[in-house]
Amino acid sequence: MSADKDEELKKIMLVEDDADIRTVATMALEMVGGMQVHAFGSGEEAIAAVAGLAPQLIMLDVMMPGMNGPEVLVRIRERVETADIPVVFMTAKVQPEEVERLRALGVLDVVAKPFDPMTLADTIKGLWAKRARS
Amino acid sequence: MRVRLSFDVKINFILGLGLAILVAVGTLAYRSIDELVDASRYEGAALIQISRLEAFMAQVKRIESAQRKYLLTGAASDLSVFRAARLEAGMDIRGMAGVIETLDQRRILRELERLAEERMRRLDATADVRARLGLDAATRQISATAAESLNREMDSLAEQFRARTLRSLRVRQEDTTLSAGTTGFLIAWGIVFALTLLVWAMVVIHRHQARRRAAELALRASEMQLRLITDAVPALIGYADREGRMQFHNKPFERWLARPAERLRGFTLRNLLGSETYDRIEPHIAHVLAGQPAQFEFPFSSDGDRAAHFSAQLVPREDAQGGVIGFYLLITDITALKEVDRMKSEFVSTVSHELRTPLTSIRGSLGLIAAGVTGVLPDKARQLVAIAVENCERLVRLVNDILDTERMASGKMDMKFEVIELGKLVERSIVANEGFAATHGARVGFDAGPQQLLVRVDQDRLVQVVINLLSNACKFSAPGGRVDVAIIRRDKWARLSVSDNGPGVPVNFRAQLFERFARSDSSDARRAGGTGLGLSICRGIIERFGGTIAFEERPGGGSTFYFEIPIAEQA
Q: Which residue of A has its CA nearest to B355?
A: A92
Name every chain B residue with its beta carbon within 8 A of the beta carbon of A18.
357, 360-361
Q: Verify that B190 and B252 share a domain, yes or no.
A: no
A92·B363 Cβ contact <8 A: no
pLDDT digits over B481-504, tens only?
889 999 999 989 999 999 998 888
Q: Which residue of B has its CA nearest to A92?
A: B353
The domain spanning residue B92 has which CATH number? 1.20.120.1730
Helix H or strand E encompassing B7: helix B7-73
Q: Which residue of B has its CA nearest to A17?
A: B357
Superfamily of domain A11-133: Response regulator (3.40.50.2300)
Name every chain B residue with its beta carbon within 8 A of the beta carbon of A63.
353
Q: Verify that B419 and B557 share a domain, yes or no.
A: yes
Q: Verify that B402 and B419 share a domain, yes or no.
A: no
Last residue of a domain, one of B318, B333, B348: B333
> What is the per-residue pLDDT for B120?
81
B368·A94 Cβ contact <8 A: no
pLDDT at A2 over 50: no
> Of the candidates B255, B258, B250, B234, which has an alpha carbon nearest to the alpha carbon of residue B311?
B234
> What is the per-residue pLDDT for B312?
94
A-B contacts at Cβ under 8 angstroms? 75
pLDDT confidence tier of residue A117, bands split at 50, 70 and 90: very high
Provide the phi-psi class of B332: left if phi over 0, else alpha when psi is between -120 and 50, else beta. beta
Last residue of a domain, one of B300, B333, B366: B333
Name every chain A residue with its beta carbon within 8 A of the beta carbon of B407.
95
**Rounded Cα–Cα distance for residues A9 and A88 (Å):** 13
Q: Which residue of B has its CA nearest to A33?
A: B373
The domain spanning residue B454 has which CATH number? 3.30.565.10
A24·B371 Cβ contact <8 A: no
CB-based contact B45:B166 (threshold 8 Å): no
CA distances from B150 to B114, B126, B157 (A): 11, 15, 11
Name every chain B residue with its beta carbon within 8 A of the beta carbon of A94.
356, 400, 403
**Rounded Cα–Cα distance for residues B460 and A115 (Å):** 18
A32 in B contact zone (CB under 8 Å): yes
Q: Verify that B24 and B168 share a domain, yes or no.
A: yes
Those residues whose C-beta lies under 8 Å from the C-beta of residue A43, and which sit 6 or more positions away, are A15, A64, A66, A67, A68, A69, A71, A72, A75
> What is the per-residue pLDDT for B374?
87
Q: Which residue of A has its CA nearest to B404?
A: A95
In a domain, B210, yes or no: no
The SS3 assignment for B136 reads helix
**Rounded Cα–Cα distance for residues A29 and A18 (Å):** 16
Q: Provide the chain A residues 49-88 that lie in CB contact (below 8 A) with chain B.
A: 63
Q: Which residue of A has its CA nearest to B415?
A: A96
CB-based contact B483:B437 (threshold 8 Å): yes
Say how far residue B170 (Cα) sits from the centre of its chain.
Answer: 68
Nearest CA-CA distance, residue A122 and chain B, Å? 14
pLDDT at A54 over 50: yes
Interface test with A, best of B345, B349, B350, B361 (most A CBs within 10 A): B361
In a domain, B462, yes or no: yes
For chain A, give every domain's residue range.
11-133
Out of A63, A97, A116, the one facing B367 most closely (by C-beta) is A116
A95·B349 Cβ contact <8 A: yes
In a domain, B50, yes or no: yes
Tally of domains in chain B = 4
Domain that holds residue B308: 234-333
Q: Verify that B444 and B523 share a domain, yes or no.
A: yes
B283 HSE (CA, 13 A, CB side) = 5
**Rounded Cα–Cα distance for residues B115 and B133 (Å):** 26
Q: Verify that B145 and B99 share a domain, yes or no.
A: yes
Name every chain A residue with its beta carbon within 8 A of the beta carbon of B371.
32, 117-118
Q: For the CA atoms of B452, B453, B455, B460, what is the dihedral angle to 10 degrees?
A: -50
Q: Verify that B503 and B519 share a domain, yes or no.
A: yes
> What is the per-residue pLDDT for A1?
42
Nearest CA-CA distance, residue B378 and chain A, Å? 20
Q: Verify that B296 and B260 share a domain, yes or no.
A: yes
Nearest CA-CA distance, residue B363 and chain A, Å? 7
A117·B349 Cβ contact <8 A: no
Interface test with B, best of A18, A24, A91, A110 (most B CBs within 10 A): A24
> What is the per-residue pLDDT for A107?
95
Name every chain A residue with its beta carbon within 8 A of the beta carbon of B400.
94
In a domain, B225, yes or no: no
pLDDT under 50 in chain B at which residues?
Answer: 522, 524-526, 571
Q: Verify that B351 and B483 share a domain, yes or no.
A: no
- Chain B residues with CB-CB distance to A under 8 A? 349, 352-353, 356-365, 367-368, 371, 373-374, 396, 400, 403, 407, 414
> What is the per-residue pLDDT for B236?
92
